[in-house]
Amino acid sequence: MIRRRLSLDETVTINARVLDSDHQSVARVVKIGLLDSALQAPFAGFGDIDVYPEDWQRLGVLCSRLVLNRPFLDWNKRTGLIAMLTLATLNDLNLDLPVSDETDGIILRLAARDVDEETFCLWVRRYLSG
């Protein structure tokens, strides 16, 4: 079960590393509201009822929202993918995505809105164990 969340700061750091930039430069231009929304979405709920109760849903929603919200100037797709993998690792989950055109393709189709969030989450589910 996912208990540990990614912080705003950690996600800015991921994007800075992807860009081969420094944290401060990215932090100055990030759209903080869009980033915060993407980070909070997987944990949405009302009372004791979670909108996304399964780990694969939470991981998929995190990646999807980072890709679609576009909080960074560049590399939102890669940042979303790495953030999803990082969140899985921080929570001792094994997300073993294929290093192939399949992963690149679904991320590109997600960004183009050719794949909806639910379909993307189901794709994530296929590769999650632990």
Count structural domains, the chain. 1
pTM: predicted TM-score of the whole model, two decimal places: 0.96
CATH number of the domain that residue 13 is part of:
1.20.120.1870
Q: How many CB atoms lie within 10 A of CB 18?
A: 19
CB 108 within 8 A of CB 78: no
- Report yes or no on 1 lying in a domain: no
SS3 assignment, position 2? coil
- Report yes or no on 47 lying in a domain: yes
Shortest CA distance to 27 belongs to which of 5, 54, 4, 8?
A: 8
- Report yes or no on 3 lying in a domain: no
- Report yes or no on 60 lying in a domain: yes
Shortest CA distance to 72 belongs to which of 16, 5, 10?
A: 16
Q: Which domain holds residue 16?
A: 8-129
- Report yes or no on 2 lying in a domain: no
At 60-105, the pLDDT tens digits run: 999 999 999 999 999 999 999 999 999 999 999 999 999 999 999 9
